[in-house]
Structure 1
């Protein structure tokens, strides 16, 4: 080889070696550090992909990209974004529901839409393997069955055999997704909304802190009831991968389900960061990353699972049928409904003890007073220990001349002691022993004015404030005068404040109730409340649930 050619070859080889060396050692200029925050379940896969990506020296505009990954609950990240403090340039949440809710808020309106999803995991019912075997042949897994079992107003059927455990939908994507799936299935089946509300109310008392805690508690029975929970398919795999003494199996709802979808959201508006994020997104779509996802119990976005979801492990290799995805308005409505429904309760119950309450209710074998007592006792079962409830009785001259009402139990938490007795037990004993005043008339209007004024004065911002009237529906009958019908209606209209609502809920029984319904409706409507006539005391829980439904529309309820 001529000398000139040899020199040229050496130079070319040297340049090539320099380029290769520099490519291995890093790109020119300052590194671009792309921060990613991901939910704990998928974070291990994202971290592994980030290591592979960073070591490959991918670049943007000639600068090497370094990807760091932190794990954080979706609820915490969403809170940071609402506060205007994004914790990273990229967010991998476990569900697009978070994005939907954030984009619906003023603070999150500028959040970009999801451009890609990384994985999926169907939401299913879950039970210990032993419990699932016992339920075979008697109960078919379904959202409809879950609603029936969890309905606070149900005492028979599935409710007698099953205890349903939930995840707080305000903090857990699986919890909110399960509620949306159940609501969608219920709507398709034409199920009464009260049943769903009853289930939501009961589930609010049966919540686990997180998916791991819920799955671990499925082996703990409550009396004769078998515990069943809601979970993502992947969370069940992760639980069983730890080799627990009692493995958990998924129960796939017959109606189909919704899935966690793990959206990849670029939060940074910076052009360089967005290019880096787009480059890293390609790494998450490689066959190697997809295999890692399947190995850890996830499905890829197309629904395909791997050996981790094998049939002999209790899973369905094929993805379950997908329910129609809820739109943003439906998601926001469900989240708001949950929040309103589970606000604390502050309620004063007014019990009619006038002379007519000693009369029988046809077809029941009970007096009106006994029916009212049973109604109130049944209603108490809906409320938890933190609910603040009290009771007055009313007739005429109950507490001295001219005072038509008398405090029986002061308003306060049901779980709080009153003179050494739990308030709930004191209320129960009071209702059991209450008697009608044989010669008493009905000073309803005077009582309403005094009680409503007290509830307005003691209004609790963090609670649903309710004035409950249990009566035979005969209306005001006060020979000594007092507040007349026109005056009480005007008082309620003037005193009601939709920004600080105290709702009037009237429940009536007996033959006098239907003729008095229009009058009761007018009183209730003045406060955004409602009036009901109950023929069977056993229906009372459903009536209370209808009253609770007012929470979902207040202060803009119809009627």
Structure 2
């Protein structure tokens, strides 16, 4: 057995570095709230030097500014009676990760009478993925009806404000937000794995994390060959804050400093090569951290350990708390409450720093936001900074604006009482540079699109197209996600006159840079046929993909089906198919991402297929949403 990776000498000044970052973090958080609750704090005489430091400042030495006193949160001051109707409606858009907190804040605010400029107020919360919301904010939510556009946007990290502004949304998105609470983005590991490698006692640096993840024999060398290779889970950095944090940490580790990452570092060829090597340890990318944790729980329940699905995953503290109390979500929206897992997650706080999801709230400045809505929105943000609002923040698993956790949340999540090495996200230019570099450095894919072309795919949908026409359009659009070097192919399945799997492969899996025209031509020729040999198709093409399995690629199938297994002649059974997938999973694993298309899709079977391979199930039972759902799915690559 070999020893776990040793810690480098650079850690000799860790205590001093932690103290500096601790002071910086406290200053940044307190200044963020100062603008939102200044009027209230002035009444209480509590505004002091908090406004002297910009929220993004990172250069002050510990001796230059003493640590500010903790904020004394003011009491909420609801109106004696609600203002006149009709109420001013304040749509608030959150991320998936912080949606519960924002919803609870909205409920807390709405529970008391409000009178802003003579009108009552109703706050309405909605959610979207961070990257999608940033794209929409950059164009002023132009695809949404004006009366439905958000007035307040609360992404779970400040990085998305900069991404939206850099993409052209400066006229609508303020540069700085008012933090309503925070959650550290950490490395979470199943408890036995964290103990075996020793990171539960002595946190690693990010460089050590990526070095370990690149070691195929690490668990075998620690007397646990049953855990397989080190499987590192990351969300997509263009979709989720945890994915951004993971990729920025990768660049920082390669460049020599997570805390001082620059645009030049991201452009450096040697740094880029090292980041590419880091990415090879990624099992696959997903849209939200909940996706990974749901699969980890499924693996633990089915096989006794989450280690079958992941060794570690980069997530926010709040997600660790949810998991450890038995709450998971397959889609980031629907919450599943079950028993407390026997195998808990341990949050690991890397010693050279970790990014903070600071949940900045901004009142948007677009033409659709009138003065009454803006005033009501500011009153909602005032509430978020009150004693009542901050209690909600803590109760929903977040650190308040003093960095404090609810005691029970801290205990159940095994979270650090204080997070001394917390880091602000880098400047927007750095984050955008990382986004632009991601297509070049990400782990390449080896993907087969497998389309059901049974007779029912000829049925019309609300748009006037047939289901197959809409599906083909969605597949064609999804190709834009892939880059040179990704190997992509196309097969389709039906059965006619007892001939299985007609037409079969129509475009071989090959570099999409060379074969996109052939792929699109083959896609255009697909037509509805007759039967639905679902089990035979999955069994056959999973074996073919496994034959070409490449450990340096994400080996996958994207399966779209609108029906249940129906064949004219005897064919592969459901159990035979699942046995094949299980056998491959332990040798040459092929992820089968399944998409249930239309109301008659066999949801249960499609879920079992994806679960058996460690992939994810997607719901397009409303066929008019297939392009959006498939677009979400391909972020896994």
TM class by smaller structure: 0.5 to 0.7
Query: In the alignment, what sits opposite 1:68?
Result: 124
Query: In the alignment, what sits opposite 1:142?
Result: 205
1:107–1:50: structure 2 CA closer, same or farther, 3 Å change rule? Answer: closer
> Is 1:196 the equivalent of 2:280?
no
2:375 counterpart SS class: helix
The CA deviation at 1:251 is 1.2
Corresponding residue to 1:38 among 94, 97, 101: 94
Query: In the alignment, what sits opposite 2:284?
Result: 206
Corresponding residue to 1:179 among 243, 247, 263: 247
1:145–1:26: structure 2 CA closer, same or farther, 3 Å change rule? Answer: same
CA distance in 1, matches of 2:431, 2:216: 30
- The 8 Å contact of residues 121 and 234 in structure 1, kept in 2 or not, is answered as yes
1:34–1:111: structure 2 CA closer, same or farther, 3 Å change rule? Answer: same
CA distance in 2, matches of 1:119, 1:254: 23
The CA deviation at 1:237 is 0.4
Corresponding residue to 1:128 among 180, 190, 199: 190
1:26–1:425: structure 2 CA closer, same or farther, 3 Å change rule? Answer: closer
The CA deviation at 1:412 is 4.8
1:260–1:343: structure 2 CA closer, same or farther, 3 Å change rule? Answer: same
> Is 1:164 the equivalent of 2:251?
no
5+ residue gaps, structure 2, are: 1-78, 222-228, 259-264, 300-304, 327-339, 447-482, 490-506, 513-518, 520-541, 551-637
- The 8 Å contact of residues 172 and 365 in structure 2, kept in 1 or not, is answered as no
CA distance in 2, matches of 1:164, 1:251: 14
What whole-Å deviation, never above 9, does each CA across 1:411-443 have from its counterpart, x for those lacking one?
A: 952899xxx996996899xxxxxxxxxxxxxxx
- The 8 Å contact of residues 171 and 365 in structure 2, kept in 1 or not, is answered as no
Corresponding residue to 1:215 among 293, 298, 301: 293
CA distance in 2, matches of 1:98, 1:155: 34
1:184–1:159: structure 2 CA closer, same or farther, 3 Å change rule? Answer: farther
> Is 1:240 the equivalent of 2:342?
no
CA distance in 1, matches of 2:548, 2:253: 41
Query: In the alignment, what sits opposite 2:604?
Result: none
Corresponding residue to 2:353 among 246, 256, 277: 256
What whole-Å deviation, never above 9, does each CA across 1:498-541 have from its counterpart, x for those lacking one?
A: xxxxxxxxxxxxxxxxxxxxxxxxxxxxxxxxxxxxxxxxxxxx
Corresponding residue to 2:113 among 50, 57, 60: 57
Greater radius of gyration (CA): 1
5+ residue gaps, structure 1, are: 1-22, 347-382, 390-409, 429-559
CA distance in 1, matches of 2:287, 2:360: 24
- The 8 Å contact of residues 158 and 425 in structure 2, kept in 1 or not, is answered as no
2:422 counterpart SS class: coil
Query: In the alignment, what sits opposite 1:402?
Result: none
- The 8 Å contact of residues 173 and 260 in structure 1, kept in 2 or not, is answered as yes
1:67 counterpart SS class: strand
CA distance in 2, matches of 1:66, 1:308: 31
1:297–1:25: structure 2 CA closer, same or farther, 3 Å change rule? Answer: closer
> Is 1:319 the equivalent of 2:419?
yes
Ranked by relative contact order (alpha carbons within 8 Å, sequence separation 6 or more), the top structure is: 2
- The 8 Å contact of residues 293 and 299 in structure 1, kept in 2 or not, is answered as yes
What whole-Å deviation, never above 9, does each CA across 1:162-217 have from its counterpart, x for those lacking one?
A: 221111112111111122133224423599522222113442x4224421221244
> Is 1:115 the equivalent of 2:171?
no
1:80–1:316: structure 2 CA closer, same or farther, 3 Å change rule? Answer: same
Aligned length: 347
1:288–1:232: structure 2 CA closer, same or farther, 3 Å change rule? Answer: same
CA distance in 1, matches of 2:484, 2:212: 18
1:326–1:254: structure 2 CA closer, same or farther, 3 Å change rule? Answer: same
> Aligned ranges for residues 370-519 of structure 1 at < 5 Å?
387=487, 412-413=509-510
TM-score by length of 1: 0.54
TM-score by length of 2: 0.48
The CA deviation at 1:148 is 1.4
Query: In the alignment, what sits opposite 1:535?
Result: none
Query: In the alignment, what sits opposite 2:161?
Result: 99
- The 8 Å contact of residues 239 and 287 in structure 2, kept in 1 or not, is answered as no
- The 8 Å contact of residues 90 and 373 in structure 2, kept in 1 or not, is answered as yes
1:245–1:155: structure 2 CA closer, same or farther, 3 Å change rule? Answer: closer
